[in-house]
């Protein structure tokens, strides 16, 4: 089987504390730190595309509230249903 790279293998958050990205919805300091990590991430757009309707946490440099606005204004789509098992979460390790 060929060794195919997945986009999340290149995620900047792979080695970060997962709590940072979930606290980003609620608290200013974690939000700044998570956004800084996301802004430098080479797979940011793929992450945002895949997690645009996840109703918690920061993905692609946007909080849930920001993703709702992005989905409605940029994508022109109403926000979808909740997704219980987003791809990126299982790939983040807690320190
Ligand atoms: S949450 Fe998404 S954009 Fe942010 S660092 Fe992780 S993979 Fe990159």
pTM of the model: 0.79
Predicted confidence (pLDDT) per residue in 27-54, tens digit: 999 999 999 999 999 999 999 999 998 9
Q: How many domains does the chain have?
A: 1
User: Can you tell me which atom of ligand 1 is nearest the CA of 37?
Assistant: 5
pLDDT band at 79 (very low <50, low <70, confident <90, very high): confident
d(CA 67, CA 71): 6
Which of 18, 44, 51, 90 has the most ligand 1 atoms within 8 A of CB, as the residue to mutate? Answer: 44
pLDDT band at 95 (very low <50, low <70, confident <90, very high): very low
Nearest of 52, 62, 45 to residue 82 by alpha carbon? 52
Residue 3 belongs to a domain: no
Which residues have CB under 6 Å of ligand 1?
Answer: 11-13, 21, 37-38, 41, 43-44, 47, 59-61, 88
Residue 1 belongs to a domain: no
Residue 74 belongs to a domain: yes
Task: For ligand 1, atom 1, name the residue with the nearest CA.
Answer: 59
Residue 66 belongs to a domain: yes
The domain in which residue 53 lies consists of 10-90
């Amino acid at each position: 089987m060929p060794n195919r790279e997945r986009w999340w293998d290149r995620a900047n958050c792979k080695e970060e504390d997962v709590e940072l990205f979930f606290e980003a919805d609620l608290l200013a300091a974690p939000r700044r730190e998570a956004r800084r990590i996301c802004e430098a991430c080479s797979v940011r757009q793929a992450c945002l595309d895949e997690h645009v309707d996840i109703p918690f946490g920061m993905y692609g440099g946007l909080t849930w509230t920001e993703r709702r606005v992005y989905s409605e204004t940029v994508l022109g789509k109403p926000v979808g249903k909740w997704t219980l098992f987003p791809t990126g979460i299982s790939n983040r390790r807690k320190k």
